[in-house]
Structure 1
Amino acid sequence: MRYLARPFAVASLAICGLVLLPICCAAFAQEPLEINGIAAIVNGDVITISQVRSLSQPREKQLRAQFTGQELEKQLKAARELALKDLIDRQLVLQAFKKEKYEIPDHFIDERVHEIIRENFGGDRNTFIKTLEAQNYTLGEFRQKEMEQMIVQAMRSHNVKAKSVISPPKVDEYYRKHRDEFTSKETIKLRMIMIPGQKDTATAPAQKALAEEVLGRLAGGAEFGQTAQVYSEDSTRDNGGDWGWIERNTLAGPLEKIAFSMPVGRVSNIIDYAGNYYILKVEDKQGGTTKSLAEVRADIEKKLIQEEAQQIQERWIASLREKAYIKTF
């Protein structure tokens, strides 16, 4: 007999959110499920249609609220196929656990059940039992499902045999290729004056001359907001041309390029764009700074270790599938 104690201890924390769903959702209303029917056979073990539908049902509920008709059917089919794949993988892991003759001590399961009762039922065991009964679970069935969850998580952890070591060059390369992940979003506080290139009462040259006059007033010390209220003709006129804080991709390309390159407090020259004349002022800036490699090295290492662990687990599951007899219906 071999105990899978250490990986289990880690996994038991990781699965808390998964195992509580069946007993902690007050509105656990389900559509009628098909009771009979085989969805797959995995090395002689049967996965039923009702198991697939039970696992896919939360996702199906979301899909029914989003789609209709043929698109809904397509999405439901994909959700059920994914649920079946997950159940097949789960069965393969359980079989691998049994083949290795591992054991999970009963007291681990007892501790987990007690933890659920304490944290989700205020320590009231009777309420916990009644909740199980209301959802057609026996305590034995719940313990079995809980143990299977523990096994799956423990075996996954167990097969990532040693903590990965990520080389410094690999961290450096990730930083170079993903600098945007470590750069804060750049925003500017902008004011704008827009003078149309043509008006019914004025010619194009007259409008250009007006824009030059406005720029001259600003250069002479006129307050930008008050000037915008008098001369600007865009939707922010009444607010003194105040656009507030904006991000990139808010303005048209040429205006954005100039606005985000201007220093705080500077008034732009006249910008002739799309037949109109613009004058910009950046009142403040935030963000746009990139954290140094030293600041984010630990985070990158953690991310790369997690990715490598995931790849190891996926290869392990793939190897189990290759050796298994799997038939779907």
Structure 2
Amino acid sequence: MRYAQIYLLMIAVLSITGCETTPKVDNPVLGPPPPRLESALKQQKLEHTQMASRSDDRKNILEGDFEESGNPFESPIITASSNSDASTTSAIDESVEELKDSTVVAMVNGTPLFVSDIIGVYDFQLKQAEQRMPPEEYQKLRIALVKRDLKNHIERQLLIHEMKTTLKKEQLEMLQEHLVKAFEEERIPELQKNMGVSSPQELEDKLNQQGRSLYFEKEMFMRQQSALQFMSVKAKAKNDFSREEVLARYKSNIQDYAYPAKARWQRIRISYAKHGGKEKAVGVLDEVIHKLQAGEDFGTLAEKYSDGPRAEKKGQWGWTGRGSLAETEVEAALFELPIGQTSQVFETDNSFQIVKVIDRKEAGHTPFADVQTKLEQTMVNDARMKATRETLDKLYDKAIIESMFEYETEDEKVTK
């Protein structure tokens, strides 16, 4: 895959430059970020015509409190969450009369992030929403989307800024060349397949119908891949762990691998109501007991006499753990009877019951060998996430960021 080639290229160019090079910025800031000054933001605010750098990361889409869904605008709930803090919503409405595409929502190291940069990817869906929503609700929707996605775009811009100030001009050009090839040779065919077309021109027409274009898809791809590839190299994380390290993690979290005792079993249930009362049900019970004593098959008798929901399956139940049954005496028998032995008759409030244990597994722990591979991958993922967070924290520490909205970092809240 060309993405892998880009990754290797990034490693090569960073090894030449030195990945720990301190980027040169016009106004470097040491220590915590400075206060986000609204006045400075207003001075930087520019009228801009559709600088839409669209994100195709649609994992977090809008449904109530922005829960996961296939499409944010196919959901019946497309307004800002009714559970959101009322004072926050009120403050937003007072400070932002109208959020235009050209509105600057943040300045990241001197680079403006426009509304269109944040929510341009939703243009098609937003146009549909605008037609069926009151203006105030539509504006709240746009604000909610910007607030939700702003942090990701700020962090992407921090990575791009770091990359541009770390790499030399010729190295950036080389990376851009490879990204363009990756877009043409892999991303375009991928888009054609996803949209059911067979040529770039058909793809362009299809994208235009959705308020998109190949140009903007390319811009979005270049920005995303630049940030992702740079992060994959910049955030140095441990990629393999020894058996001893994985085993230590397993032992320290052994409770996560515990499982309770469980049993597979059969039941014959004779309901009082179905047979006209308890006394008449006794007659059916006696007949079943005599046949069991004569050696007839438990499952065959369950199929014929049982009133339970699994009668047609010879009264068989799957693996059942402790605490699953309402009848405590019946459940106790499942974990005390020898396997293959028929129980005594249990008399409940509405039926007689006889059970037989088919198989049983005692409580224990999933063996280390069964979880070693998965656990090691979890450790690798955790290490990558930690390295990513540490890398972003360092970029935040020396960044100059001004924003008209609140956004959360790992250990601080930044406000306008």
TM-score with structure 1 length normalisation?
0.67
Structure 1 counterpart of 2:8, from 3, 6, 11: 6
CA distance in 1, matches of 2:246, 2:189: 42
CA contact (8 A) 1:218 1:224 kept: yes
Look up the equivalent residue of 2:227 and give its one-letter code: V
CA distance in 2, matches of 1:85, 1:311: 17
Structure 2 counterpart of 1:87, from 148, 153, 177: 153
Paired residue for 1:279?
Answer: 354
Using a 3 Å threshold, how does the CA distance of structure 1 residues 233 and 8 change in structure 2: closer, same or farther? same
Using a 3 Å threshold, how does the CA distance of structure 1 residues 121 and 232 change in structure 2: closer, same or farther? closer
1:148 correspondence with 2:214: no
Q: Which string of whole-angstrom CA distances, capped at 9 and with x for unpartnered residues, describes residues 14-60 of structure 1?
A: xxxx8598xxxxx99999x9424333332232223344334578999
Look up the equivalent residue of 2:149 and give its one-letter code: A
Structure 1 counterpart of 2:104, from 38, 50, 55: 38
Q: Which string of whole-angstrom CA distances, capped at 9 and with x for unpartnered residues, describes residues 281-316 of structure 1?
A: 244679999764235433322221121111110121
Paired residue for 1:302?
Answer: 377
Structure 2 counterpart of 1:327, from 372, 395, 402: 402
1:251 correspondence with 2:253: no
1:222 correspondence with 2:296: yes
CA contact (8 A) 1:226 1:240 kept: no
1:99 correspondence with 2:165: yes
Q: Where in structure 2 are the equivalents of 1:78-227 lying within 5 Å?
A: 80-101=146-167, 103=172, 104-121=175-192, 124-137=199-212, 139-161=214-236, 163-176=238-251, 177=253, 188=264, 190-195=265-270, 201-202=277-278, 214-215=288-289, 217-227=291-301
Alpha-carbon RMSD = 4.8
Q: 1:88 offset after TM fit, Å?
A: 1.4
Gaps of 5+ in 2: 12-54, 59-70, 79-98, 127-138, 405-416
TM-score with structure 2 length normalisation?
0.55
Q: 1:227 offset after TM fit, Å?
A: 3.2
Gaps of 5+ in 1: 10-17, 22-26, 61-72
Segment drifting more, 102-111 vs 245-254: 245-254
Structure 1 counterpart of 2:390, from 283, 307, 315: 315
Q: 1:80 offset after TM fit, Å?
A: 4.8
Look up the equivalent residue of 1:112 and give its one-letter code: F
CA distance in 2, matches of 1:207, 1:125: 75
Using a 3 Å threshold, how does the CA distance of structure 1 residues 210 and 132 change in structure 2: closer, same or farther? closer
CA distance in 2, matches of 1:49, 1:41: 12
CA distance in 2, matches of 1:212, 1:58: 72
Using a 3 Å threshold, how does the CA distance of structure 1 residues 276 and 156 change in structure 2: closer, same or farther? same
Segment drifting more, 273-282 vs 90-99: 273-282
Q: Which string of whole-angstrom CA distances, capped at 9 and with x for unpartnered residues, describes residues 194-244 of structure 1?
A: 2458987446xx97897577445424313324433565444445x375245
CA distance in 1, matches of 2:101, 2:147: 18
CA distance in 1, matches of 2:179, 2:399: 30
